[in-house]
Amino acid sequence: MHSLVFILGLLIFSFVVTSILIVPFINFLYAMRFRRAKQKTIDAFGQHTPIFDQFHNVKAGVPVGGGLLIILVVSVLFAFIFPVVKYMGIAVTGVYNITTEVNILFFTFLSFGMLGLYDDVKKFFQFNKEHFFGLRMKHKFLLQIILATVIACMLYFQLGISFLNIPFVGTFQMGWLYIPFAAFVIVAFTNAVNITDGLDGLAAGILMISLFGLWFLSSQILDIPLSMLLALWLGSLVSFLYFNIFPARLFMGDVGALAFGATLAVVGLLLGKVIALGVIGFLFVFEIFTSTVQLLSKRFRHKKVFTVSPFHLWLQYHGWEEPKIVQRAWIVQIMLTLFGVWLAML
């Protein structure tokens, strides 16, 4: 069997499995009362954000936690299918030690997923005081840094990755500086995807298009374990997106946003295409940039740079309808992904 045929089959299979499970899973979330509540949203500095509530309190009651289903489906299917791939006539090739690469990918996928799930549980089961919305920002950020540093050390010491490829310039060895660099990339994309997940279908749609580009790159270097993960992830994500587009019946939650952002970064690091990842993930990067500028300005200048942040909420505030923002973001993302893939192949 040709490896591409096999990988495409995995995508379809993952889509079918998730589609069968997703409606019962939504009903389970309703039964567990794991859904968005109407409340005053508090930002990182304990300040009320009425503009956010103005647009999004109407979504109260929609289940949260779709990312958990995706993580479970992808992890279980990979665990059952990967050990028997070689008996199906597929040559299991990879750029790195295959066992180590798989361990790093799923450590990222599951550890950041558990961190996000913990945050979701604290939010939606109300295990918090009025000013304590989930994990405090500094606690969540510290845990992200610790996990990201562990993963960066695994990439550096276990796989020997220490280079940065810059299109039109060349490849540079970074030595031990690769560890803080990789940790920064992981933390940045973790929070970027989380911040972008604010409109129905926005983060999931952008992520889906990004993953197709990264899947193409992984197939070019015949990295079968990475291609399998991306195919299973894509199939499940497409099924989730069907229920996440406006008006959403299911939200990703931090369990998905944190896991997917961190794993997206690690995939880019494994491919050695961090610059291309920055292009493919530019919308994520821009969203977190606007939020970071706003937070820093409020902290040190005691005034806002933007009326509201992140950028997608700013567009809503200025009269753009939610589906219009999302659909145009998808169009921009298609071109960014094509540009990023082109850069990566130079």
Instruction: Give pTM, 2 decimals.
Output: 0.93
Q: List the domain range (segments joined by +) for residue 278.
A: 3-344
Give the CA radius of gyration of the chain.
Answer: 20
Distance between CA atoms of 201 and 322, rounded to whole angstroms?
Answer: 10
Is 171 a residue whose pLDDT tops 80? yes
Averaged confidence pLDDT in the chain: 90
Report how many domains make up the chain: 1
pLDDT band at residue 17 using 50, 70 and 90 as cut-offs: very high
Q: Which residue has the tokens 């009651």?
A: 61
Under DSSP, is residue 334 helix (H, G, I), strand (E, B) or coil? helix
Higher pLDDT, 139 or 236: 236
pLDDT band at residue 52 using 50, 70 and 90 as cut-offs: low
Is 185 a residue whose pLDDT tops 70? yes
Q: How does strand 163-166 pair with strand 170-173? A: antiparallel
pLDDT band at residue 33 using 50, 70 and 90 as cut-offs: confident
Determine contact, residues 96/218, Cβ cutoff 8 Å: no
Where are any strands of DSSP class E within the chain? 163-166, 170-173
pLDDT band at residue 121 using 50, 70 and 90 as cut-offs: confident
pLDDT tens profile 206-217: 999 999 999 999
pLDDT band at residue 2 using 50, 70 and 90 as cut-offs: confident
The pLDDT score that the predictor gives to residue 45 is 40
Distance between CA atoms of 132 and 117, rounded to whole angstroms?
Answer: 16
Is 128 a residue whose pLDDT tops 60? no
Is 243 a residue whose pLDDT tops 60? yes
pLDDT band at residue 77 using 50, 70 and 90 as cut-offs: very high
CB neighbours of residue 83 within 10 Å:
9
The pLDDT score that the predictor gives to residue 62 is 92
Higher pLDDT, 233 or 91: 233
Instruction: Rank 35-39, 45-49, 241-245 by mean pLDDT and report only the highest.
Output: 241-245
Under DSSP, is residue 250 helix (H, G, I), strand (E, B) or coil? coil
* 248 secondary structure, DSSP code: P
The H or E element that residue 138 is part of is helix 137-153
Distance between CA atoms of 323 and 334, rounded to whole angstroms?
Answer: 17
The pLDDT score that the predictor gives to residue 130 is 44
Under DSSP, is residue 64 helix (H, G, I), strand (E, B) or coil? strand
Q: Tell me which amino acid residue 215 is.
A: W
The pLDDT score that the predictor gives to residue 41 is 54
* 6 secondary structure, DSSP code: H
